[in-house]
Structure formats: C-alpha cells, structure tokens
Amino acid sequence: MASMATIPSKIASKPPLLEELESTNTILKYPDAVFVYDPDFDKVVVSKQVKDLPVGTSNGFELCSSGRSSKRRRLDSGIELDLKKSKQLISMRDRRAKSCYPLGLRGLNNLGSTCFMNSVLQALLHVPPLRNYFLSDRHNRDQCKKRSGEKLCLLCDIDAISSAMFSGDRTPYSPAQFLYSWWQHSSNSASYEEQDAHEFFISVLDGIHEKDSKVRNPSKGDGDCQCIAHRAFSGLLRSDVTCTTCGFTSTTYDPCVDISLNLDTRNLSAADLANKPVKSDENMDVSTLSGCLNLFTRAERLGSDQKLHCQNCQELRDSTKQLSIKRLPLVLCLHIKRFEHSLVRKMSRKIDRYLQFPFSLDMTPYLSSSIIRSRFGNRIFTFEYDNSDSSAQYEISAVIAHSGMLESGHYVTYLRLKNQWYKCDDAWISEVDEGIVRASQCYMLFYVQKTLYHKANEDLSCVRISPRRDPFVSTGCC
C-alpha cells in the first residue's frame, strides 16, 4: 500500500468495489482523485452515521410500525456527517498511516526531468554522516551568509532541504532553490533535460567540498580534507604496475569518493542461480557484485601500446596493472556502469543486466592487505597493510535504480531504514518488500560501515539536534 497517497477533503460514497476489499487497505484511483479505503476508518464513519440516526431506527434500517421483523433500507438524504468532524477524522487517519514512517521520509517534487536529482538527494541526506552533519547545525545558513556575503550557496540549500525533510512535514518538498544553485555551480548542466545520477552525485560532492573546505582546511589536499563530503565518502585506491620482465613494481595511491564497476559478464553457477530471485529465462543476464569487485581488483595485462618505462630496466616494458583498496570510506558508494558509449560506433546503449548484490558486504578480499598477501604470501610485514576487520564490514543503506531506456529512463531510490525498505519515487514514498529492491536495475549502491549503520538506526524516530555533537556519532532519542 502506498501510504503517502492523498485523501480527499470530503468523504465520497463507498463504491461497490469496496465491498470486496473490506479486509485489506487498497488504493483506488479515479480520474480526478485518489481514494484510500481503510476498514478501521470506515467503521468510525459508519458508527458516526448510526449515532446520528433518529429514534426508531436501528443499524441504518427503519423498523416497520406493524411490528413485523422484516426491514427495508432507508435512504435519508438528511443524514450527513459534520464536515468539521469528518475532516478531523481524515486528518487522524492520515497521520496514523504516516506515523510508522521514520523521521526524514518526505517526497521531493519533480521539477521537470529532475528524478536524477531527487534520487541522489534522498540517498545523500539519509547516510548517517551527512544526516547528522546537517541536523547538528554544522553548517549554519545565517552565519554562512554573514561570513561570505554570497547569495547562492549549495551547502546552505542542502541544509534547507535537510531541515525540511526532517521537520515532520510529509507533504512533498520542492527543491527549486537547490536546483538553481546547482545550475550556477555546474552551468554546463543547467537545463531541464534528464541528467546522469552518478555525474550529479560527483558534482554535488565537489560543490560541498569547494564550500566546506574553504572554512575548514583551505591549504590541504583532497586526501586529508576534513570537509563533510570527504569525511564520509573519501577512500584511497592503490595501483600496482609490475614489469613482466624483472618484476619491479611501481605503486601509486589515488583518493576516490566512489568506485565504478564494470558488470561481470560471466554466468553464475547453478548454486548462485538457485538463490537468486529472478525468472529462469533471465539466468543468462545475471552478474554478481562480488564478481564485479573481483573484476575490478584483478590484475590485467596492459597492451603493447601501453608499455611503461621500468625504473629498474630503464626502458619500455610490458607490464600488468592491479587495483586494490588501501583505505575504505565510512560510506562506500559503488557505481555500476550500465551505460556504454562507443566513440568508434558513435552510439550509446544501456546494459539491462540483473545484478545480484548482498545487503551485508565484506570488503576484506578487496583490500590491499589481502591482495598483497595473495600475491606474495607472508614475505611482507603484515602490519604495514592491515586494516581493522570491523571497518571492512558494511550494511546497505540506499539503492538508486534506473528503469527504462537510455534516452527516456527514470530514477528511483530505495532507502533501508531500521531494516525496512522504502521506495522514494519523486513525490511518492511507499514501503516495499526487499524482493522489489533486489529485482531493480541498481545503478548506485550505498553501503555504510556496519558499526555506524547500527548506531544510526537505533532510533530514527527521534533525532537530537545539537550544534556540538560530532556528526559521525549517532544521535540518540530526545
């Protein structure tokens, strides 16, 4: 049931179809309105009608004066619900339906092909570091305007959206001011055309970094940046290029805020397919997240046109390259490459391939420490590369899915709050089963370190707002 549907301001007569639906809550859509039928609410209405009946009637039927036990249906146009009381009942029903939703769930209006923006904002504002950062008033809009004198501030507009979403108001919010500010930040994207959600995500983090880092650490690089974007999403990749002639290895490190993964095109085993909730005729179009991560960290031989200068041989040599993860972020964002662009063929296409992904993810096999041990055994000092086991354990927090074609698709976000999944489809919020999430064409996956995830989900219904709280420590109940 889509609990966020709108209830009309006046009560319509119950259609005949509702007689068959009295045991369940069902949404009925008509051309001009959306009616939500609820058995408990219907009983309240019927009870009110019975109380208002004149003396001499019983259960809506008029008793015959002759004393006979037969009854005939009585249509009394004079019996009407008090409009003021009926509106109160509707309001109570509406609040009750939404009261079970965690604080912060609020739809975002589509401002014209802006589902890409809405989906990313829903995911960003519900990851614990950013959620706690804005709710703890770490970026004060009034102070920011006085300090900088700037009329447009991307961080201020995100803070305004966060305040609106966690205000308790359930009516859809229009992030028009944020959209305008983002257009100023990324002028090449200023249009009402559909944009790529991943590119928008990178652009927003860049805007947050640009603003927040000026105040916190203007002289430091991205690797040591303490802005909220890098504190939450920044990790470190290790790249090892090995000469195939002498074995000399050159190592470099690159900061990253997400990891882009190619879909693993190898077919699953029969055991994997048995545990996958898809139809049997879709088995040939299945990838796994573990397969994608293995492909990302697998050593690859560079082509003859990519020969690198070996420092040991002092000449160009064939080599292999292998990526691994040196440092994991608090929030791990995995981008699935579903869109292919060929410069040779001058065409683009979407890869409609199902991806099987876990809700609990262990990133230990993809760490540099694990990769180095598998390559050299125990001949290396283990403490140089060891990472905490707990920091490699993740729980899924949000999934951004893309449906449709490349030119005319649609983005939605699935949020996991207190082990319940919610679908954020622009202005509409609804509970969904995890099977719906698993069957979606996921485009971006957001994983939160397990310890942080469980702390943040202890009680989402109460969020303490304190300007002195550390945004990386979960807030408790008021």
The one-digit pLDDT tens for each residue of the chain (478 residues) are 444 443 333 334 444 444 444 444 444 333 333 334 444 444 444 444 444 444 444 333 333 334 433 333 333 434 344 445 444 544 444 444 444 678 899 999 999 889 999 999 999 999 999 999 999 888 888 777 766 666 678 889 999 999 999 998 989 999 999 999 898 887 777 676 778 999 999 999 999 998 877 666 555 555 578 899 999 999 999 999 999 888 888 999 999 999 999 997 765 444 444 444 444 334 447 899 999 999 999 999 988 788 888 888 888 888 999 999 999 999 999 999 998 776 676 777 888 889 999 999 999 999 999 998 887 766 554 545 455 556 899 999 999 999 988 777 899 999 999 889 999 999 999 999 999 999 999 999 999 999 999 888 775 545 543 333 344 443 333 3
User: Which domains are present in the chain?
Assistant: 16-98 (no CATH), 103-478 (3.90.70.10)
pLDDT in the model for residue 466: 35
pLDDT in the model for residue 41: 42
301, 307, 308, 312 alpha-carbon torsion, rounded to 10°: 90
Kindly give, in sequence order, each residue whose CB lies less than 8 Å from that of residue 63, ignoring residues fewer than 6 positions away: 56, 57, 71
Helices in 149-196 by DSSP H: which ranges? 154-165, 176-185
Catalytic sites, residue numbers = 115, 410
Contact 160, 177 (CB under 8 A): yes
pLDDT in the model for residue 418: 87
pLDDT in the model for residue 396: 97
What is the spatial distance between Cα 235 and Cα 343, in angstroms, rounded to a whole number? 31
Closest CA to 328 of 234, 240, 242: 234
Report helix angle 141-148 to 154-165, nearest 10.
170
What is the spatial distance between Cα 207 and Cα 189, in angstroms, rounded to a whole number? 14
| Beta-strand pair 354-356/286-288 | parallel
Closest CA to 166 of 95, 106, 232: 106
Contact 323, 251 (CB under 8 A): no
pLDDT in the model for residue 203: 93
What is the spatial distance between Cα 442 and Cα 437, in angstroms, rounded to a whole number? 8
